[in-house]
């Protein structure tokens, strides 16, 4: 209680200093932290107050790490790249940092994880100790090791499905915009038909029929999300194909592939890259949801969705370890959205 009182006194003093120096940002944040901490103390007691203080500390550490990462990237990149990265908000820097850490965990999982993906090293639901940072799962496997391997499996499958859906939807949308006529109508009505089917019901039906192999999961999810990519690509490319330089290419007798590659695609890249990030989030959540329902990545392969399902009974005993894979899913989704928001802001041409 003494330390908590000292922290509150420091926040009040910081708010007073900010008011004296006419620094609205310092006054606002210090006063807000003080007020919310008092509310947590009133409704949650000492534990509630400490929970909020720890949460604020985590946010401060994340902001400092994002700032340091942004400065390091500015030193590594070229002059133009350094200028762009320094203008990026801290949320975008945090998103890039988290995506990079996830990529490192997935690529180097066998070297980072202390134990094998399916290696049984302890009793079921053993608590965390010096050998197991997060304890053991329902079979006695190291949760931390499976969490690291899950980054490779969950993110890898979601990325493969997103790339396949994006390639199919983008190519179909570009050629529909350039060709027009019956081809445009046929592709448009086919996309409408697929989009009218609920994605979860369609994926559960297809996986029940064709099995739950990795290739089947990737293809089914790509079929589900490619019409969405097609719709956006067709709308964006439709505004480009009416431009004079595209008409000039048609009058020169250029083939559709040349027009798509040289005239249309370079002028639709920015919104398509942003859409790729959004589609990845949707695909990633669908993969995790299918695994949670038992129709995604199958055991003993580590997957964050199945890890939540397999260890959900631990929550009844006050153990929040099963929520760590769910937090990993949420953190990656939020990080990708931070980067996508920054990219959309840059492509819109708006000033900071």
Per-residue pLDDT tens digits for 236-284: 887 777 777 777 777 777 777 777 777 777 777 777 887 888 888 888 8
Any idea which of 18-22, 81-85, 190-194 has the lowest mean pLDDT? 18-22
Question: Packing angle between helix 143-179 and helix 214-240, nearest 10 degrees?
Answer: 40
Q: What Cα–Cα distance (Å) separates residue 30 from each residue in 18, 43, 86, 241?
A: 8, 20, 26, 53
pTM above 0.85?
no
Assess whether 213 and 279 both reside in one domain: yes
Confidence of residue 170 (pLDDT cuts 50, 70, 90): confident
Q: Using CA atoms, how far apart are residues 89 and 94, in angstroms rounded to an integer?
A: 9
Q: Are residues 137 and 43 in the same domain?
A: no
Q: In the beta sheet, which residues pair with residue 141?
A: 120
CATH number at residue 238: 1.10.3720.10
Q: Does residue 101 fall inside a structural domain?
A: no
User: In the block, which residue shows the tokens 């496997």?
Assistant: 141
pLDDT tens-digit series, residues 285-302: 888 888 888 887 887 888
Grouping H, G, I as helix, E, B as strand and the rest as coil, residue 163 is: helix
Q: 334-352: per-residue pLDDT in tens?
A: 898 888 888 877 766 544 4
Provide the mean pLDDT of the chain.
81
What is the rounded CA–CA span in Å between residue 226 and residue 164? 8
Answer yes or no: do 207 and 249 share one domain. yes
Question: Are 132 and 37 part of one and the same domain?
Answer: no
Number of domains in the chain: 2
Q: What's the CA gap between 264 and 222, in Å, rounded?
A: 23
Over residues 309-333, the pLDDT tens digits come to 887 777 777 677 778 888 888 899 9
Are 291 and 242 in a shared domain?
A: yes
pLDDT for the residue numbered 163: 92
Domain span at 165: 109-348
Q: Is residue 217 part of a domain?
A: yes
With a CB cutoff of 8 Å and minimum separation 6, the contacts of 92 are: 338, 339, 341, 342
Under the banding of pLDDT at 50, 70 and 90, the label for residue 7 is: low
Same-domain status, 178 and 280: yes
Q: Does residue 92 form part of some domain?
A: no
Structure tokens at 49: 């107050």
H-assigned helices in the chain: 2-20, 24-76, 79-87, 90-107, 109-112, 143-179, 181-195, 199-210, 214-240, 244-251, 256-259, 269-293, 304-310, 323-348
Task: Look at residue 157 and tell me if it is in a domain.
Answer: yes
148 close to 304: Cβ distance less than 8 angstroms: no
Residues 122 and 265 in one domain: yes
Of 25, 54, 76, which one is at a domain's C-terminal end? Answer: 76
pLDDT at residue 350 in the model: 45
70 and 219 housed in the same domain: no
- Say yes or no: 67 and 130 in one domain: no
Query: In terms of domains, do 124 and 27 share one?
Result: no
Instruction: Kindly state whether residue 81 falls inside one of the protein's structural domains.
Output: no
Cβ-Cβ contacts under 8 Å for 3 (sequence gap 6 or more): none
- One domain for residues 230 and 333: yes
Give the model confidence (pLDDT) of 87-111 as tens digits.
888 888 899 999 999 999 888 988 9
**9-37 average pLDDT score:** 72
Q: Is residue 84 part of a domain?
A: no
Whole-angstrom Cα Rg for the chain: 25
Shared domain for 259 and 309, answered yes or no, is yes
pLDDT classification of 54: cutoffs 50, 70, 90: confident
89 part of a folded domain:
no
């Amino acid at each position: 209680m003494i330390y908590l009182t000292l922290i509150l006194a420091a926040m009040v003093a910081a708010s007073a200093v900010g008011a004296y120096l006419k620094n609205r940002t310092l006054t606002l944040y210090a006063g807000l932290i003080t007020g919310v901490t008092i509310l947590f103390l009133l409704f949650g007691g000492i534990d509630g107050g400490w929970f909020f203080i720890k949460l604020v500390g985590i946010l401060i550490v994340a902001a400092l790490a994002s700032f340091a990462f942004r400065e390091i990237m500015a030193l590594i990149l070229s002059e133009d790249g350094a200028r762009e990265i320094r203008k990026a908000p801290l949320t975008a820097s945090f998103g890039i940092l988290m995506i990079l850490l996830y990529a490192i965990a997935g690529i180097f999982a066998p070297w980072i994880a202390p134990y094998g993906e399916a290696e049984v090293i302890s009793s079921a639901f053993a608590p965390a100790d010096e050998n197991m940072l997060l304890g053991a799962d329902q079979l006695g496997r190291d949760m931390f090791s499976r969490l690291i391997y899950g980054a490779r499996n969950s993110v890898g499958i979601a990325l493969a499905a997103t790339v396949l859906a994006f390639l199919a939807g983008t190519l179909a949308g570009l050629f529909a915009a350039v060709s027009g006529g019956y081809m445009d109508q046929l592709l448009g009505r086919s996309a409408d038909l697929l989009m009218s089917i609920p994605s979860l019901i369609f994926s559960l039906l297809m996986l029940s029929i064709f099995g739950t192999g990795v290739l089947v999961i990737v293809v089914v999810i790509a079929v589900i999300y490619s019409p969405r990519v097609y719709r956006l690509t067709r709308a964006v490319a439709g505004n480009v194909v009416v431009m004079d330089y595209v008409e000039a290419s048609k009058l020169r007798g250029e083939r559709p592939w040349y027009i798509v590659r040289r005239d249309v695609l370079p002028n639709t890249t920015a919104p398509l890259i942003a859409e790729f990030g959004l589609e990845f989030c949707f695909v990633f959540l669908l993969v995790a949801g299918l695994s949670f329902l038992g129709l995604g990545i199958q055991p003993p392969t580590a997957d964050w969705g199945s890890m939540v399902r397999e260890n959900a009974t631990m929550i009844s005993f006050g153990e929040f370890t099963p929520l760590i894979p769910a937090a990993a899913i949420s953190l990656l989704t939020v990080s990708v959205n931070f980067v996508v928001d920054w990219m959309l802001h840059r492509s819109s041409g708006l000033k900071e």
